[in-house]
Structure formats: structure tokens, C-alpha cells
Chain A
């Protein structure tokens, strides 16, 4: 069972990294909008490619 003397400290280091990552995400605003991205994934932007002939600026 001596292996846990290695594995547990390793997991503690991992948790440290996870928390660091989480802090980065919060500070960079990843958690500011919790509703929009859920929909965004469903709205593909494929239509953009088919419609390159109509640039909205030209219509003005």
C-alpha cells in the first residue's frame, strides 16, 4: 500500500491545478453568462457560408 504515499500527494497537486484552472475561468468571465452558450451550441453558423453573396453592408 506504499503507493498511496505517492498517489495521494499527486491527487493533491491535481486538485491544486484544477482550482487554479477554475480561478482562471472565473476571472476571465467564463461563468458570467450561464444561459447563452447552452443555446449557442444548437445554432450552427453554417448558413453564413451559403450566404456570402449578400453582405448586409451592401444593402444600405
Chain B
């Protein structure tokens, strides 16, 4: 049965992408028939079903990512990971005959994924334990190396639709993790001891009110002093360090009044404890230190998560390469990429990722360089042309002369830029920090005034007032205001598969008033599917499709893959004399008949006797479709039409954007007719077609010059000039290989309409930040004068300071839940 275009769309049971041909991939799962979009999804679902793990489908809150073992039967080759030389850094051998390996799992998007992988691996008898860290997607496996190889584990993970990559922890992450643990310990010490001090303080305050034995009061004060010492020495260390470094550089950092307040309060309390007269402020010190450390901890966590988003990028390049022993023979050896030297010859198979930068010296093939340029159309490369590490070889085996490896490759330099950017502080945080800086200078001045004034007027209260000013005015609500809201805002988005990779993302996204789609493929399913078969000769549609699929069976081209989806359940057809002309077509012999499959030019070239009537053909070569012809020696047999359908949610998204006053532009490298076709269907404001990357950049420059805040939505790892120009870049990770992205925000699901959630959440986050900051400023502005005139004792100052922070925390936590997006009103 030929597929047709107007059938009802069903979503794939596994990955929820629309199924183009419902009858093709079906499985009976728990008594119900389920349809799949491709053989890969079906194979994965079959494995899950037969392992008794169907609970996954009930538990998950997000559809799975489409597995990349596309044909379903062609498992990736992981055997090279069994070499001891490649296992350095991520496989450890324990004393008790077991081994331990660290992986980074690609494709996890909800907690059910973690359950699925862990349970599936736990069933394999030689695996002692498999544990996944849901926050970082790292997996630690302990197993018996005598009975199971590393490659078996990686293959097992692939069978259920994920990818396991070796994970070597970089020194940078080790450092950040250590910093995080250190801060957590300091926070814990201040919390535990602080609570003790509070308890004792309550006793002391009640004693002040109702009267207390002097002995007991002295005892309680001394215990408090003892308890506060670790807080001062251990927990408050970062503040004193910060003060020293900011004094050295001559700036008033936030640490200065903090340290000053703590020191002053401590010295006064110490004096009071020794002399047994006057007030002690140990409780204020403990609370103060605890709240500021909590703010720092939250901020550090947000920064670490941001830079983690970049991690999969490092794994884009394989660890193993096939080095040719000599130019003449075809012998190759597997060698770790790290050991390759400039001048080595490397064999790159079709479907493999190019491990190095280099020049092709033998063979020609097309390469997908979307990792670097964002251009998803394959680039044809001949001997003498350069290939870049991270690009994917699509068609033929080529030999590459290595020029750069490892950290000298183009890909690596992009990663370094991405890393640096992710550790930057967001502008809005820097702004509040700058405000806080001035604020601090003002507080120090006011505190000084209060000392001078108190001494001159002989008021015995001056010390208590000064401490109150320093404590009550602590800008911690101000410093919590931004990081908390950003962290809450972005963690809610992860539940929708939206990953905030940069610090400035939410702030910029909220202000965006012009959204540019960097290619047609972002709004379409991004994959060619066979939508129509027209027969022209003696064979019917099914026969023609079978022949075409057999001819394309050796190819990796997108069109070939689409045929493969349709050919799985048919009998095997033996093809001989298979020849392919890169970028034009294939020919082969089946049952003593020669068949040709390709563009009209290709068919003419191959068999000049064939008549191709331009008039009848016109009907088949439509704007939004790619059509190829099948012919034998004597006649044309069929036309296959492929199309890239528009994503279901795209029109909702465009309608929402227009309602919000955001303009839309489609900036595409595709043919004008196709771009116009898509734009007309969706109602996009303006289009630029047939743009080369450089032109895209120029268009974007114009938009930016005209004052628009531009976000660009693309679908790959992009260093195209245009993307780096945009104020914000959003990457739609189409399949799990491309989940690693040099973008400000990554969409880990194929549903483009989740951008609606992203924009509304970003706007809410920004407004919460504004509320938080105004509240903090308002609180400080009213509390300081009160403290100055002595209306606020230090203990009340500490409570007020904490309450103002609690308000900020509660307000920010509203962001943890996504606001449901209002449905499009039909106009």
C-alpha cells in the first residue's frame, strides 16, 4: 500500500514523533497494537517489552528521544573501547576482581529513563551495580570483567535507546565539585552550630526578661562563645578571604561589611563574655553566616549546572581511529585518537564521526558538518579538501591526512569558548552585585557615622546600634534575589525538556522581540519521509518501493534511510553491480534487470534512450517535495516523492509569538519556493531564502542594528557567524548525537511548541527578579534608618534580615512550577 499524505497522524509509541506510515512498524505490546515511526524505535520498544520493563512508559513524563541506531538491526561498534589503552581515565580495576567504569549517558530526559537503564543493566548477570546520577547523567557501573566486556555494557545501553559514552572527569569539574562540597560543609557547620546557639539565646533572652541566675547566664554565654568559634574559623572563611582580596584590589566587595559586621559583633560579644557585662550577639553571627552561605551555595550550583550542559560536546569526537599502516595496503590498526600525530593517515568509514582535522587524500564523500556550521545539508568533499573533527562522514570510505588532533581542532576551540561563557556570571547578577557594591560602601559610611556620632554624644548604645546597622543592612536578600529566581526558573524548564545552558539565557529570552528560525528544518520534522509513490510503468508501487529500497540498502543518505523505513518487512532482494554516484543516484542489477534510481539528470546520463517528458514530470516535481525517479533499461517505473512535513506544534508557536508581539523571520538556505511555502503555511512575518551563512550573518546584523532583541532557533551545534551574533541562540536537539550544543538554550525534545513555555517562564522569572530586587531594596531602605536611631536591637536585626531573605526565597519558589500556557484562541 503506498503511503499517502492525508492520513491521520499518529504519534510513535516510543518517541512521540509523528508516524508517517502507521502500518509499517507495529508491535503488540501488552495486548495492544502500537505504531512506531521507525525501526529503531520499534527495536528499542521491543527490548523494553521483552525485558518486562514496560513500567517505563507509564512512569515517564517526557517522550524518549529517537534512538540513533536507525535501521534497528545495525548496532554500533563499540569493540574499540575494549582496548586497555583507551580505558585510561574512565575504567578502574578493583581489588576484588571487579571493574568500575564511568559513562556519560546521552538521551536521559526524565527520571523514568534512569529507572529503565538501571533496571535493565541490573538484570544482566555479570553487572553488580549500575548507578546513574540524575543531575549529571553520569553512570557508574561495577561488573565482572572476566565475563563481560565494556563494549557489551555500551551495547546494552544502546539496545534500550540511549548512548553510553566514556566519561573522564575533567580537572575543572573536579575542582568545582570540591568547591561545592567544601561550601556545603561550611553551610552544614553553620546550620548545626547556629541552631544550638539559637536555643541557648532563647534561654538568655528569656532570662533577661524574667531574671536568671548570674552563674547560668555566664555559663550559657561561654557555651555560645565555644559554639561560635567553628563558625567563625571554618564557615566564615570565604568572607574573610574575600575581604582580604577585595581590600588588596581596593574595591568594596560584599564580603567587606559582612566580615566587618561579624568581627565587630564577635569582638563585642567576646568582651561582654569575659567582662560578664553588656550584650552578646552570637546568635546574630550564626544566622548571618548561615544565610549568606546558603545564597552562595545556590549560586554556585546554578553555575555548575550551566557548565555541565556543555559536557556532551567533549564526547562528540571518537576516542578510537583507524590508522592506515601504509598508503598501498588496506591494513589498518585501531589506535587511540590521542596517539595520532600530524601526518598519520586515518580511515573514516561511512556513518562515523571524523576524529581529527585533516585533508582528504583518497576517496570522496559528503560530510555533515552541522556540528560546526549548523548546515545540515551534506557537503560534498573531494581529495585535497579539508574535513573537520566532529563532522559525520555520510557516504563513502575516505582516507584523511591528519593535520590537527585533540585540543587543537576547530571543534575543541569552540568548546573552550563555550566553557568560558558558561562560567561567566549573568549580566543581571553582575548588575545587582554592582548595586550591592555601592550599597555596601554606603552602609560602611553610615556605620562609621553611627560610631562617631555615638562616641561624640556619649550614647552608651553606639556599639549595639552599629552592629544592628551592619547586620540589618546585609544585602543578602539583594544577593539572593537574582540567583534564586534564575535557578528556580530554569530548573522548572528542565521538566519540559528545555535546558538552560547559559546564565544570561532567561533574562535575554524574556526580552526577545524578534525570533529568527535559522532554517526551514527547525519548523519541519527535519527528516525526509516518503509521502507519495506514482507508478509510471509496469510495476506496482510496492514492487517499485522494494526495488528502490534494495538499491539504496548500502547507502547512508537521508533518502536511503527513508526507504529503509519502508523496506524492513519485505523479503530480501539481492542486488549485484551496485554503483553509486555521490549526490546523484545509484544503479544496480536485480534478477538480470538493470535499475537506475536518482535525479532526472542521473537517469538521462545512465540511459540516454529513456524519454523523460518535462510536462508530465512537472506535476511530480513540486515546491515542497524532493522527487527521484526509478527506471530500468527500457522505461521509467516510478516517481518517489519525499517531503519534510511541518511540525504539528509550529503553527501554535507562531500564533503565540505574534500574540506576544514577537516578530518572526525565517532565515533559510533552502530554495525560495520551499521557504515561501513553509512561511505561508505558518504565517511567518518575513523570510530570507537561499542564504549562505555569511548572508545570514548580514541579515542578523541588520536586525540587531535596527534595535531588535533577536533570538535565533536552530537545530545543531552552531558556530555559524549568525548564531554568535544573535542575542540568544536556541538549539533544537534533533537526535541524540546533536544533544551537545554550543547554544544558550537547548530543547531536548522535538516539540517546538515548548518554546512557548520557555518564553512565558523567562518572562515570569524576570518579573520575579524585579519583585525580589525591589523588595530587598525597600527593606534595606526602611530598616537602616530604624537601626540607626536605635529602634532595632541586633537580635531583631538578624531576624529582620533573615525574614527579608525568606520572602525572596518564597517568591522565587513560585517559579518552580510552570504556568500552564493558555491555548491558542482560534481567530
Contact = CB atoms under 8 A, between A and B. Distances in A.
Interface of A: 1, 4-5, 8-9, 11-12, 15, 18-19, 22-23, 26-27, 31-36, 39-40, 42-43, 45, 47-48, 50-51, 54-57, 59
A20 B388 CA distance: 52
A43 B59 contact: yes
B115 A43 contact: yes
Given A5-B219, A12-B196, A51-B52, A35 B134 contact: yes
A36 B120 contact: no
A55 B125 contact: yes
B653 to A, nearest CB: 28
Contacts of B55: 43, 47
A14 B223 CA distance: 14
Nearest to B184: A26
Given A12-B227, A15-B192, A54 B52 contact: yes
B60 to A, nearest CB: 11
A31 B187 CA distance: 13
B257 to A, nearest CB: 28
B578 interface: no
Contacts of B156: 56
Contacts of B119: 45, 47-48
20 contacts: A8-B200, A8-B220, A8-B223, A15-B227, A19-B189, A23-B185, A26-B184, A27-B181, A32-B135, A32-B136, A33-B133, A36-B132, A36-B134, A39-B112, A39-B114, A51-B51, A51-B52, A51-B123, A55-B125, A56-B47
A35 B135 contact: yes
A51 to B, nearest CB: 3
A56 B115 contact: no
B47 A59 contact: yes
Which are the 6 A-B pairs with shortest beta-carbon distances?
A36-B134, A39-B111, A51-B52, A33-B133, A43-B115, A22-B188
B442 interface: no
A40 to B, nearest CB: 7
Given A22-B192, A43-B115, A54 B135 contact: no
B124 interface: yes
B192 A56 contact: no
Contacts of B295: none
A47 B59 CA distance: 13
Contacts of A33: 133-136
A18 B192 CA distance: 8
Contacts of A40: 111, 114-115
Given A31-B184, A33-B135, A54 B50 contact: yes
B196 A11 contact: yes
A1 B51 contact: no
Contacts of A56: 47, 51, 120, 123-124, 156, 159
Contacts of B331: none
Contacts of A36: 111, 114, 132-135
B641 to A, nearest CB: 38
Contact of A1 (B50, B159, B213): B213
A20 to B, nearest CB: 10
B192 A19 contact: yes
Contacts of A11: 196, 199
Contacts of A54: 50-52
Contacts, number: 100
B192 A4 contact: no
**Of B59, B112, B177, B188, which is in contact with the most chain A CB atoms at under 10 Å from its CB?**
B188
Contact of A57 (B125, B181, B213, B216): B125
Nearest to A34: B135
B193 interface: yes
**Of B51, B219, B226, which is in contact with the most chain A CB atoms at under 10 Å from its CB?**
B51
A16 B193 CA distance: 9
A26 B188 contact: yes
A2 B219 CA distance: 11
What does DSSP make chain B's interface, helix, strand, loop or mixed?
helix
B124 A55 contact: yes
B704 interface: no
Contact of B196 (A4, A15, A42, A59): A15
Nearest to A50: B52
A9 B115 CA distance: 46
A51 B53 CA distance: 9
Contacts of B559: none
Contacts of A48: 119, 122-123
Contacts of A31: 181, 184
A22 B640 CA distance: 66
B52 A47 contact: yes
B115 A57 contact: no
Nearest to A57: B124
B133 A12 contact: no
B794 to A, nearest CB: 23
B133 A32 contact: yes
A32 B305 CA distance: 12
B213 A12 contact: no
A30 to B, nearest CB: 10
Nearest to A17: B192
Contacts of A4: 216, 219
Given A15-B192, A51-B52, 20 more contacts: A1-B216, A11-B199, A12-B196, A12-B226, A19-B192, A19-B193, A26-B184, A32-B136, A32-B177, A33-B133, A33-B136, A34-B135, A36-B114, A36-B134, A48-B122, A48-B123, A55-B123, A56-B47, A56-B51, A59-B51
Interface string B134-151: 111000000000000000
Nearest to B181: A26
A4 B47 CA distance: 65
A47 B193 CA distance: 45
A8 B52 contact: no
A54 B114 CA distance: 20
Nearest to B183: A26
Contacts of A5: 219
B706 to A, nearest CB: 43
B198 to A, nearest CB: 12
Interface in B165-223: 177, 181, 184-185, 188-189, 192-193, 196, 199-200, 213, 216, 219-220, 223
Contacts of B125: 55, 57
Contacts of B188: 19, 22-23, 26
Contacts of A51: 51-52, 123
B220 to A, nearest CB: 8
Contacts of A50: 52
A39 B134 CA distance: 10
Given A22-B185, A36-B111, A51-B52, A12 B223 contact: yes
**Of B111, B136, B219, which is in contact with the most chain A CB atoms at under 10 Å from its CB?**
B111
Given A15-B193, A56-B124, A43 B219 contact: no
A15 to B, nearest CB: 5
Contacts of B123: 48, 51, 55-56
Contacts of A47: 52-53, 55, 119
B59 to A, nearest CB: 7
B229 to A, nearest CB: 12
A31 B136 CA distance: 12
Contacts of B189: 19
**Of A45, A54, A57, which is in contact with the most chain B CB atoms at under 10 Å from its CB?**
A57
A30 B528 CA distance: 47
Contacts of B50: 54, 59
A25 B701 CA distance: 52
A3 B216 CA distance: 11
Nearest to B147: A57
Contacts of B181: 26-27, 31
A49 B156 CA distance: 20
Nearest to B120: A56
Nearest to B197: A15
B350 to A, nearest CB: 25
